Amino acid sequence: MNYRKKPAAPGATPAATSDTGRKRSTINDIARMANVSKKTVSRVINDSPFVKEETRLKINTIIRELGFAPDPQARGLAFRRSFLIGMIYDNPTAQYVVNMQQGILDAMRGTSFELVIRPCDRSLATFLPDMRHFIERQKLFGVVLTPSVSEDDRFVRLLQEIDCPYVRIASVPLDTPATMVVTHDFSGAADAARHLADLGHELIAHISGPASFRSSHERRRGFTEGLAERGLKLRRTYDREAGYTFDSGMAAAQELLSLNPRPTAIFAGNDEMAAGVYKAARNLGLAIPGDLSVVGFDDSPVASRMWPLLTSVRLPIRDMGRMAAEKLFHKRTERRARNDDVTEVIPTLVIRESSARPPVA
């Protein structure tokens, strides 16, 4: 007997099939086989952390057995956003940016998210419209804001206006706990001051980062208060502002080391500037730490690659990126109310060979 395939009704849409001609599985099929709701299947597909592990394993097993592959475009439409996280920065220190992005990528491992890196310049008149265009064009899931762009309340108001989730990394609390990773730069700088004072230094200089960074003010404030605890004062002539870069640190150190009396110790607001201090000292034939003690901030990889090894305040930048991204993932879940704990890191002083007792007069 001959059979003929019944023709499809006019206007009917043919069922989606795989390359082998077999009908493709759907979320409905998976939900039925796992005896769960479509919403639960969707949560597993989208890497939500709020599914029981037993349920997650069962659904993932069925997905593998069926060879189910979710449509990325459909997923994006379902969430009305892409699976992209934006990291927005205006920090001139390349190592800081690299460490931060590595931390965010650590948090993304095993998820469907991807990272988009976006530098910015807050001094431009087009800063806010440019950022709005970038976020809306990419349909970002959310953004991680690093200092000092994290300190810009105009930008935060824009993010709230366009309903873009964000997490701010900053040296002091600037927002609700759910949107903050607080780094307490003040306490680390105070430790640096106490360390130099306890070594016996009295002629201590400071090179700060740019005034547009809240971290610069917090580090200077912590440093001056740490000195005050030891009965010392940061003299105005020994205080210089630089740009968190090697060249600006070297230029500031050249000025400080030309003073009479010359400082016996310099606290630089980050390791890049501390490296510039090394260069300026060696140009003048000064030995570190024999003639000049140097302390940096961040404890970036460069600190343990210079000679002598740099004493520095350790700020776990990679961990900060990971913490910020994890908070961002949780902000778009139904358990947002549980994300109100303060997320903070405490800087620690790592003492190495670049700091010692001052030279004997």
CATH number at residue 222: 3.40.50.2300
Indicate whether 327 and 178 sit together in one domain: yes
Residues 124 and 167 in one domain: yes
- Residue 121 sits in the same domain as residue 179: yes
Any domain includes 298: yes
- In this structure, is residue 30 part of a structural domain? no
208 and 293 in a single domain? The answer is: yes
Our count of domains for the chain comes to 2
| 65: in domain | no
Q: Are 193 and 238 part of one and the same domain?
A: yes
> Is 52 part of a structural domain of the chain?
no
Residue 354 in any domain: the answer is: no
Nearest to 317 by CA among 111, 20, 95: 95
Q: Are residues 157 and 214 in the same domain?
A: no
Residue indicated by tokens 């064009």: 137
- Where would I find the beta strands (DSSP E) of the chain? 84-89, 114-119, 142-145, 166-170, 180-182, 204-208, 239-241, 265-268, 293-298, 311-314, 343-344, 348-350
Residues 211 and 290 in one domain: yes
**134 plus 197 within the same structural domain:** no
Q: Is the dihedral of CA 279, 184, 339, 212 positive or negative?
A: negative
Per-residue pLDDT for the chain (361 aa), expressed as one digit of tens each? 443 434 444 444 344 444 444 567 788 888 889 898 888 887 787 666 567 888 888 888 988 888 887 665 555 444 455 688 999 999 878 888 999 999 999 999 888 788 999 999 998 999 999 999 999 988 899 999 999 999 999 999 999 999 999 999 999 999 999 999 999 999 999 999 999 999 999 999 999 999 999 999 999 999 999 999 999 999 999 999 999 999 999 999 999 999 999 999 999 999 999 999 999 999 999 999 999 999 999 999 999 999 999 999 999 999 999 999 999 887 544 344 444 577 999 999 999 999 999 998 7
List, in order, residues 6 or more apart from 332 with CB less than 8 Å away. Answer: 141, 142, 165
Is the residue at 116 inside a domain?
yes
Residue 278 is predicted with a pLDDT of: 98
pLDDT at position 26 is 85
Long-range contacts of 45-54 (CB under 8 A, 24+ apart): 45/70, 45/75, 46/75, 46/79, 46/112, 47/110, 47/111, 47/112, 47/113, 48/333, 49/329, 49/330, 49/333, 50/333, 50/334, 50/335
> What is the domain extent for residue 259?
185-314
Does residue 191 share a domain with residue 176?
no
Residue 34 lies in a domain: no
151 and 198: one domain?
no
Paired tokens of 208: 């700060």
**Together in a domain, 128 and 158:** yes
* Residue 322 sits in the same domain as residue 221: no
Maximum C-alpha span of the chain: 113
Q: What is the pLDDT of residue 4?
A: 40
Q: Would you say residue 23 lies in a domain?
A: no
